[in-house]
Chains A and B, each alone.
Chain A
């Protein structure tokens, strides 16, 4: 690894508990929640890639925000550079963890599913984060009666047609992406299990959560509600 061995105090968990004092090659910075950083954490864990999982205190965010590339987190530091945008970072981690396609079309199929899951997340967020109570209430029924079923039925059918996975009939980063943000989606939907009526998606969730590397991560990661 390039650079000097860095000794520094960490307010984060060194997942792989090395005896050397060298910092991991990657540092992921985010709020103390799962949400949009969790797919990256899942993917690094699956790939056996050491990373510093830095979770800052919420009250420090106003000072940190101006120093972020586009005022947002998560960010990923590596070799003195800082990257942003959670899905872009997840795609990068997926390549390192070898959970990508074998050619460009296969990668397109995976990307399309991830972007679709992200579309669903945004529609849920439009409801959850709405500050005006009356507007929020007006969005509730269309979300639960139309939008969620529209997406989840189709995603469930994709998993059924793909041997229990979201793309290519095998495990790809689309599967880890979806399962990693599930708690966040559920919390935005009032804490319900949005997969309750979707057996294929539920089975996929269990498949991913039972992968040995993911199980290990789940045991080590800090608790959070979203």
Chain B
């Protein structure tokens, strides 16, 4: 029988990896569709709003990586116990996403000098602002980002943080041991370790 879920994205981790982690964590079978960049132009207008990832289930298709991850987090029970706790998780996820939104456009910058300048600003203003604050959250939360326990916020951070190293060419979390600890803890979960071993060997 075909898996009940089909996740479509490019052949990278990017914003879909958190969902692949969540499927794996919950032991939920999914079709892990990876499209080639050269085919994107034809496929784009077939998606709800011209973007990936998309999730197909029971004949319906939705987009939006964070929304999909939140749905899966509920399925695999990596959520809060009440509305306020889920607000706290959502807020940290959105904050990490804010960092991603500052990182992502720099990959597109073609002018090398401009790109270098943007990376410096990213390191000083974005990482320099957000990472110490997130580091403090993990210290307050016994080694996790929120609620003092494992939630999908930790998965979200772990799967997006490779992007920080990719754009800077540095080990960005080297000076943030607690954040590094979150990433190591998540990637050491047996089901996640297994996923990392079997997933296609593409970069972050």
State which of B51, B64, B129 has its C-beta within 8 Å of the C-beta of A71: B129
State which of A89, A104, A154 has its C-beta within 8 Å of the C-beta of B49: A154
The range of chain A's interface size is 20 to 34
A107 with B71, Cβ < 8 A, contacts A116-B63, A151-B49 known? yes
**CB–CB B64/A104 < 8 A:** no
**CB–CB A70/B71 < 8 A:** no
- Interface majority SS (helix, strand, loop, mixed), chain B: helix
* B132 to A: closest C-beta gap in Å: 11
State which of B51, B60, B66 has its C-beta within 8 Å of the C-beta of A105: B60
User: Residue on A with the closest CB to B105?
Assistant: A126
Residue numbers in A under 8 Å from B41 (CB-CB): none
**CB–CB B88/A83 < 8 A:** yes
**CB–CB A108/B90 < 8 A:** no
A154 with B48, Cβ < 8 A, contacts A81-B84, A83-B88, A108-B62 known? yes
Residue numbers in B under 8 Å from A154 (CB-CB): 48-49
Say whether B38 faces chain A, with CB atoms less than 8 Å apart: no
Interface residue ranges, A against B (CB under 8 Å): 69-71, 78-79, 81, 83-85, 87-89, 91-92, 95-96, 104-105, 107-109, 111-112, 114-116, 119, 122, 150-151, 154
Interface residue ranges, B against A (CB under 8 Å): 48-51, 55, 57-58, 60, 62-64, 66-68, 70-71, 74-75, 83-84, 86-88, 90-91, 93-95, 101, 129-130, 133
Give 10 A-B pairs besides A91-B87, A92-B83 with Cβ atoms closer than 8 angstroms. A81-B84, A89-B91, A105-B58, A105-B60, A108-B71, A112-B62, A114-B67, A115-B64, A116-B64, A119-B51
